[in-house]
Chain A
Amino acid sequence: DVKVTQSSRYLVKRTGEKVFLECVQDMDHENMFWYRQDPGLGLRLIYFSYDVKMKEKGDIPEGYSVSREKKERFSLILESASTNQTSMYLCASPGGQGAEYEQYFGPGTRLTVT
């Protein structure tokens, strides 16, 4: 299985701060995804990447940006954190050949913006 790690389990930031959420996968796969999860709203796709330096907007990209400088690392950036970005953030990477739709998730980062 793909192993996906996220840099922090819990994070507390202040309004207006620049926030970096890091995600690393260990299987040299091209695809990586960032979601946010909120009660009653399920998983919403923020950004995804299909290759190094390639990014594509998901359903809710506003207020976020991403960086993919190396294949194994996909960073989510909150340029100026706001309280409505308080959420659980999940990173995912699909499996290998024949399992391109299966997504393996990191443990999540619970971000609180005060």
Chain B
Amino acid sequence: AQSVTQPDIHITVSEGASLELRCNYSYGATPYLFWYVQSPGQGLQLLLKYFSGDTLVQGIKGFEAEFKRSQSSFNLRKPSVHWSDAAEYFCAVGARNAGNNRKLIWGLGTSLAVNP
């Protein structure tokens, strides 16, 4: 069955430090992969996505992610974190159900805190 694992429940980094949030997926075919961010009190916003092609994808707010098929990973990175990046981050993989309809399988999220 398809699944998404975010190994880190909570991460704290200092402002200006680099960031990497891990995501591992289990999916038989070529995956459609996503990262979403949820800032405090806000809805979920799409950060970036991978469908095919270049395995390093750029997103909004200075984030990037790299798809590594051999490791079944899609880790999110940012070279220098800002205090406003403190939020909950969710990784997701696109999947089809028994009726061939599209939906997303979600990781449980990683909560990011940023120290000044």
A residues whose Cβ falls under 8 Å from a Cβ of B: 31, 33, 40-43, 45, 48, 50, 56, 90, 92, 94, 100-108
Chain B contact patch, size range: 20 to 34
Interface residues of B (CB under 8 A from A): 9, 32, 34, 42-46, 49, 90, 94, 97, 99, 101-104, 106-109
Nearest CB in chain B: distance from A81 CB, A: 22
Contacts of A40 on B, CB cut-off 8 Å? 9, 108
Can you list 26 residue pairs at the A/B interface with Cβ under 8 Å? A31-B102, A33-B103, A40-B9, A40-B108, A41-B108, A42-B107, A42-B108, A42-B109, A43-B106, A45-B103, A48-B101, A48-B103, A50-B99, A50-B101, A56-B97, A90-B44, A101-B32, A101-B34, A101-B104, A102-B49, A103-B46, A103-B104, A104-B46, A105-B43, A107-B42, A107-B43
Q: Which residues of chain A come closer than 8 Å to B9, judged between CB atoms?
A: 40
Chain B residues whose C-beta falls within 8 Å of the C-beta of A48 in the assembled complex: 101, 103
Contact partner of B102 (CB less than 8 A), chosen from A101, A106, A107, is: A101
